[in-house]
């Protein structure tokens, strides 16, 4: 009984079986990759074509916005007025603005305000606007140390205004008014 030849034959058969398995696995992977590539390619829009409609969150097809608007945010505080103008074509605007009326410290970052508007246009002009304006207020408090001494601590607190208003072209809307400041927003068709 020649066990050397039998062992060699069994090893050779095992290698052939192992090689066949690897080839089959590579073939299946290549076929699946080809199907995936063709499917993904079929779902991609042609780069050179213009989309003629937009689908909103409810799945309804709507035309893209073609009107340009300008928002003018006016803030009056302590006898001074700051104006900020932004252009957009409907939808929303979200930005950080330098607070021109805040007292600026010499070695500190400039004070900013967060501003965002989401406009849903009316058919006859203007639109319903959801507005957010926020800024950080710095204040000083006192705290006692374990030694009994008091020290000043500077802290910040975020304050904001969120509201929904109807904006009509050329007519400013007062968003906030008190004895310290007044905030208005005006929409203009461009």
Domain-by-domain residue ranges, the chain?
3-45, 64-189
Q: Is the pLDDT of residue 4 over 80?
A: no
Model pLDDT, residue 75? 94
75 within 8 A of 112, measured Cβ to Cβ = no
Mean pLDDT computed over 138-165: 88
pLDDT at 13 over 60: no
pTM: 0.60
pLDDT in tens, 57-93: 566 666 666 778 899 999 999 899 999 999 988 788 8
State the average pLDDT for the chain: 79
| Per-residue confidence (pLDDT) for residue 90, from 0 to 100 | 74
- Reading the block at residue 74, the tokens are 């006016």
Task: Output the pLDDT for position 190.
Answer: 83
- Going by C-alpha positions, the residue among 15, 67, 36 that lies closest to residue 187 is 67
Q: Which residue has the higher pLDDT, 141 or 10?
A: 141
Of the candidates 186, 91, 75, the one whose C-alpha atom is nearest the C-alpha of residue 134 is 75
CA 2 – CA 15 distance, rounded (Å) = 20
Across the strands, what pairs with 81?
76
pLDDT per position as a tens digit, 100-116? 988 877 777 888 999 99
User: What integer pLDDT is reported at residue 121 of this predicted model?
Assistant: 87
Given this model, what pLDDT does residue 34 score? Answer: 67
């Amino acid at each position: 009984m020649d066990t050397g030849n039998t062992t060699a034959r069994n090893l050779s058969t095992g290698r052939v079986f192992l090689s066949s398995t690897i080839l089959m696995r590579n073939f299946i992977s290549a076929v699946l990759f080809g199907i995936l590539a063709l499917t993904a390619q079929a779902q991609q829009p042609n780069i050179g074509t213009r989309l003629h409609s937009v689908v909103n969150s409810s799945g309804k097809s709507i035309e893209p916005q073609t009107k340009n608007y300008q928002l003018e945010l006016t803030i009056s505080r302590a006898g001074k007025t700051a104006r900020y103008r932004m252009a957009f074509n409907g939808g929303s605007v979200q930005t950080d603005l330098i607070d021109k009326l805040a007292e600026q410290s010499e070695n500190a970052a400039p004070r900013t305000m967060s501003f965002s508007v989401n406009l849903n246009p009316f058919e006859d002009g203007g639109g319903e606007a959801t507005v957010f304006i926020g800024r950080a207020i710095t204040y000083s408090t006192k705290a006692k140390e374990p030694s009994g001494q008091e020290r000043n601590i500077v802290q910040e607190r975020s304050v904001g205004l969120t509201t929904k208003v109807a904006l009509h072209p050329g007519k400013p809307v007062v968003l906030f008014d008190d004895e310290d400041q007044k905030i208005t927003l005006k929409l203009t068709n461009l």
